[in-house]
Amino acid sequence: MSLINREQSPSLRQGFRLQWEPRQDCHVLLYPEGMIKLNTSAGQILELVDGQRSVATIIDRLSESFPGVPGIDEDVLAFLEVAHAQFWIE
Domain contains 53? yes
Residue 81: helix, strand or coil by DSSP?
helix
Classify residue 1: in a domain, yes or no.
Answer: no
Q: What is the DSSP letter of 52?
A: S
pTM: 0.93
When divided into structural domains, the chain yields a total of 1
β-pair partners for 34? 31
Containing domain of residue 72, as a range?
17-85
Bridge-based pairing of strands 17-21 and 34-37 is unpaired
Summarize pLDDT for 8-55 with one digit per residue, the tens.
999 999 999 999 999 999 999 999 999 999 999 999 999 999 999 999
- CATH assignment of the domain containing 61: 1.10.10.1150
Q: Is 63 within the bounds of a domain? A: yes
pLDDT tens digit sequence for 66-79: 998 999 999 999 99
